Amino acid sequence: MSRLRIVLLTPNYRPESNAGAQRLTSLAEHLAAEGHQVVAVTSQPHHPQNRIYEGYEVRSPHVDHVAGVKVIRLRPWLVPKDSLPLRMFAEALFTLQALTHLLRAPADVIMASSPYMFLGPVGLFAARLRGLKFVWDVRDLTWLYPKAAGKRTFGIDVLLACLMRFTAARSDALTTATEGLFSYFDSRPSVAACIPNGVNDDWLDRLTSLPAPPLDEPPLVSYAGLFGYNHGVSTIVEAAEFVPEARFLLVGDGPERQALMDLVDSRGLTNVDFGGYLDQERLQEVYRRSSVLVSHVRANPIFLWTQPAKVWEYMASGRPVVHAGEGEVLPIIEDHHIGLVVPPEQPAALAAGIRRVLDDRRLAQELGANARAFVSENRRRSRLNDRFVKVLERVSRGRG
């Protein structure tokens, strides 16, 4: 592929460590290492604590050069996590700030990645205005989440759905994280691919080097991730009541954190602890100490299309994973025998799955070994980045 000038539009970038930041940072640096000119337009790091990281409270926009990538950081408008209207307005404000850079930065290709829903339409607008190629990377159907959460949308979700399908159909390339997301866009460009979530190579190598799970008493059951509506972490809290012999550690942050802490207090649970946002060093220590890792996704038709990114990171650690959920991740887990699956939003069923792997050490070891091998072979980030490169190559050559 000839040398390209690529602008990546993403709200999250390193030093943030969420799945989006890891994915886009890895891709940007991968492209730069292959000789392409890459500009990343992003926000000043603030996720998930909802405050700008120390050392980044500087004038906006701030331009930095990291690993061959020019990073333009814009100041976000920090709003309460539990206010959906304000969060949507903040996302729109970031998108409008980014537009000026999309219109100025030297580029052959503009690539926008969710979860912010307006990045796709604005990226397409900027690309068409400048006569550039546009690639849309869709990881979440965030415009459908308010209705899934039972909020009144006044028909706005229908208008947004039409806008997003319009954007997908008129993009030069479309990539999605799952087959379900891929099928949602029934009208797609000729260049389209499903490229799943994965684990960065350096982080994967660190996790796969962890020793076998400890034989500690009491055993540690851990959840590490976002405390958001679709994650339904309250079910994990309620499951802890059925497994009093184990300690439960919930690590992360998000809009439901306080509600979860209140739930623990109201139930009088003494075997549930909370940890805040952790860097990789401390998160690796949590995985090392854990006997079981738990994932949960609420029951809803929208979430049938999800494959939680944290599941692959969990599995790389070699710990048995109990996933409570539905959808397309289930056959992957079951067919490869890389974890246990239980119904979502059923604390007793989740507790039974946790107790099963705690009581059957041979099963736990088998699941952990299979899962680690599967992720190493199928979810290594560098290999997934190579697939993105092929998409960009086809777009640059104007081929379907």
> Residue 288 CB: number of other CB atoms within 10 A?
16
The CA-atom distances, in angstroms, between 108 and each of 73, 188, 397 are 21, 21, 11
The pLDDT of residue 14 is above 80: yes
Tens digits of residue pLDDT in 89-134: 899 999 999 999 999 999 999 999 988 889 999 999 999 999 999 9
Tens digits of residue pLDDT in 321-358: 999 999 899 999 999 999 999 999 999 999 999 999 99
Average pLDDT estimate for 133-148: 86
> Residue 383 CB: number of other CB atoms within 10 A?
12
C-alpha 352/C-alpha 365 separation (Å) is 18
Q: Identify each DSSP E strand in 142-232 by its residue range.
A: 173-176, 191-194, 220-226
Pick the more confident residue, 117 or 85.
117
Q: Which helix (H) or strand (E) holds 358?
A: helix 347-359
Distance of CA 310 to the CA centre of its chain: 7
C-alpha 213/C-alpha 220 separation (Å) is 10
Q: Domains in the chain, start-ordered, CATH in brackets?
A: 5-198+380-396 (3.40.50.2000), 201-378 (3.40.50.2000)
pLDDT at residue 10 in the model? 96
The pLDDT of residue 282 is above 60: yes
C-alpha 140/C-alpha 178 separation (Å) is 9
Closest CA to 19 of 158, 305, 225: 225
pLDDT at residue 120 in the model? 96
